[in-house]
Structure 1
Amino acid sequence: MENKQVTAATNGNVYIPISERDGAESVVYFTRDLSAEGLRRMYERVSGGMTGKVGIKLHTGEEHGPNIIPRPWVRELVERDLPDATIVETNTYYAGDRDTTEKHRHTLEVNGWTFCPVDIMDEDGATTFPVSGGKWFSEMHVGKNLAHYDSLFVLTHFKGHAMGGFGGSAKNIGIGCADGKIGKKEIHAHPGEGQWSIAQEELMERMAESAKATVDHFGEHITFVNVLRNMSVSCDCEGTAAAPVVTPNIGIVASTDICAVDAASVDLVYALKPEERHDLVERMESRHGLRQISYMHELGMGNWRYRLVDIDHGDAEIQLADAVAGVVPFEG
């Protein structure tokens, strides 16, 4: 068993069931309530460290993106629970609707992110956060304004991704906090090579190390919520070109542990029926995306083992299969 763990953990195309993972456990909260109220309830469970000036890091999407987290949900959360918070984003590395600050602000307006301030953190350049224990980086360039916040609420639409396999909390901050000119390039490309010259295990490790810079910076003042809804195999960075959604909606998970919240999200997808999970699992494995989880565990960013606590039923500990029982295929 030990050899199997060591061998498989370094290959991001191999799924490691939770029963075969080592180490301590964290708590991950779960609800099936995909609504503004469900989001608020999950945030309340993990909001203890949200003090001072709070940034909300979420993927605001390309123009008219069909699958991003519903703006009314976020608006209600902000108005009722985080009235002084600011949505934080960075410009993109790829050409599109958000690769310059001017275009980015227009896209924010088109997509309805107009109910609270939005800080494009690299509008005035980058700063560096240290990366402790990394093998690819000793520091990461992030949007300069990230340093202005006391706490960070990482609100993530969990879905597939063309290069990362899946986009969870690690991708949301590992890529999403890196500035568009330097940090994102450092993650995706070797010097002197093509724009997307890094892939598979190395890309997942670089992304995780970038995420670690932000996690370490905020310490106890960072928390994570993943929304498992409208899970295309495509990222929200593909906008209206995203592949159709064929994976059932599952619910919302939350934790103060980034590794555990992404591991639980992946596990919930694997717990679906084979025909329901096929496309998203194929995307994860073909891009070696599962290396995100094992490498975060190796870096000491959190635990890839966890207890799944069902807040819909009196905080009972629940098995993955029971969590996804009764889900129905996505119908648009």
Structure 2
Amino acid sequence: MKPTAGVGGEHYIPYSERTGEKSVVYFTRDLSAEGLKKIYDRVKENMTGKIGIKLHTGEPHGPNIIPRPWVENLIKTELLEASIVETNTYYDGGRYTTAQHLETLKTNGWTFCPVDIMDDGEQTVAFPVKGGKWFTEMYMGKNLENYNSLFVLTHFKGHTMGGFGGSAKNIGIGCADGRIGKAMIHTVEGSAEQWSISKEEFMERMMESAKAVVDHFGKNITFVNVLRNMSVSCDCEGTAAQPVVTPNIGIVASLDILAVDQASVDLVYALKDGDRKALVKRIQSRHGLRQLTYMKELGMGNDRYHLIDIDNEDKEITLQEAVKDVVPFKA
């Protein structure tokens, strides 16, 4: 019997209505190479052995991706032996085949360290999905199993299908291989419509895929979300992305995937109405908040957290304090 998707993905649950344990989420307003390095230092303790950096490297000339110099600085100072890891896309674009993908990486300047297209040659590996209702396993790019640790470095933004793209989307879609895994998440089996799964069911499938990655790495996975240039469009839309109207906020980091994505969403919701309107509309219209509630149901983390301001002697702050000095976005 086909599972039934949950509901409520358009409904934001205020912090005061949540229950359960709290995780730690670090926060900095410092959107720079130094800010990224500083916050990574707080969550790097379990990055050991061979490290993969899961990063959305973007379609050709994508305007909103994490600035290359920030990542280059981090790799050259903290992650000398690491590789950026990616998979090919499910849609036909600048990263559909490995050959196209390698060209796009050159175009976008990701040339300062190894980049591993993990499903090169359409090679896959099945990771178990524990406790899922849609899947018992998910197909990933085969080379993912070659890494001991995964650093999930995410440009937090809107998304056409997911409502928003955070750490969970970065690995749930981004580690699934381009032909089998991504099809399992996006397409009803046998359907001619490529994007035939949406809203709550899509969120749940994507989160189950993310869970397979998180479970595989255990404690050797960490998450950093960069809340900058937050278009309602994903970086997969490249130069066609909608103009950014949401203010830049900062960078958050955690060892807890749910906490880091929940805090990112909460920070957007903490903005003034006019500043948050476009991104909130995108999130709610796609029922994207189901990502968060389903991660909680799957036991992937906590939706409550201590927000630690690393700019001010590790003081615990409120969401409102974190965003009180944001300024309107300027391109």
TM-score normalized with structure 2 length: 0.97
What does 1:257-272 correspond to in 2, within 5 Å?
Answer: 257-272=256-271
Residue equivalent to 2:38: 41
2:147 maps to: 149
Question: CA distance change for structure 1 residues 270 and 317 in 2, over 3 Å: closer, same or farther?
Answer: same
For 2:171, the equivalent position in structure 1 comes to 173
Residue type at the aligned position of 2:137: E
The code of the aligned residue for 1:82 comes to L
**What is the letter of the counterpart of residue 174 of structure 2?**
G
Report the Cα distance in structure 2 between the residues aligned to 1:243 and 1:81, rounded to whole angstroms.
34
Q: Per-residue displacement from partner, 1:186-205 (whole Å, max 9, x unpaired)?
A: 00011111100000000000
Q: How does 1:199-214 map to 2 (within 5 A)?
A: 199-214=198-213
Could you tell me which amino acid in structure 2 is paired with residue 243 of structure 1?
A: Q
Deviations 1:168-221 (A, max 9, x none): 000000000000010000000111111000000000000000000000000000
- For 2:185 and 2:228, locate their aligned partners in 1 and report how far apart those are by CA, in whole Å: 27
Matched, 1:65 2:65: no
* Deviation sequence 1:271-291 (CA, Å, 0-9, x none): 000000000000000000000
- Superposed CA offset, 1:75-116 (max 9, x none): 000000000000000000011000000000000000000000
Deviation track 1:110-150 (CA, whole Å, cap 9, x = no partner) reads 00000000000000310000000000000000000000000
Report the residue type matching 1:242 in the other structure. A
- Structure-1 separation of matches of 2:99 and 2:282: 33
- Secondary structure of the equivalent of 1:308? strand
Following superposition, the deviation at residue 10 of structure 1 comes to 3.7
Q: Which amino acid in the other structure matches residue 226 of structure 2?
A: V
In structure 1, the residue matched to 2:227 is 228
CA distance in 2, matches of 1:45, 1:18: 24
Q: Which letter maps to 1:261?
A: V
**Offset, 1:18:** 1.1
Map 1:80-159 to 2 at 5 A: 80-124=77-121, 125-159=123-157
Identical-pair percentage: 71
The aligned residue for residue 242 of structure 1 is 241
How far apart, in 2, do the equivalents of 1:174 and 1:329 lie?
A: 31
TM-score, normalising length from structure 1?
A: 0.97
CA distance in 1, matches of 2:268, 2:298: 24
Distance in structure 2 (CA, Å) of the matches to 1:220 and 1:330: 36
RMSD between superposed Cα atoms in Å: 0.6
Cα distance in structure 2, aligned partners of 1:312 and 1:43:
14
The number of residue pairs the alignment matches comes to: 324
Aligned pairs (5 A) from 1:5-84? 10-84=7-81
Equivalent residue for 1:219?
Answer: 218
String of CA shifts for 1:8-35, please: whole Å, max 9, x gaps. x841100001110111100000000000
Correspondences of 1:249-260 after superposition (within 5 Å): 249-260=248-259
CA distance in 2, matches of 1:17, 1:131: 29
Name the structure 2 match of 1:296: 295
Determine if contact 1:10/1:294 at 8 Å carries over to the other structure.
Answer: no
SS in 1 for 2:218: helix
1:158 maps to a residue whose letter is F
- In 2, the alpha carbon distance for the partners of 1:34 and 1:259 equals 22
The question of whether the paired residues in 2 share the 8 Å contact of 1:18 and 1:305 is answered with yes
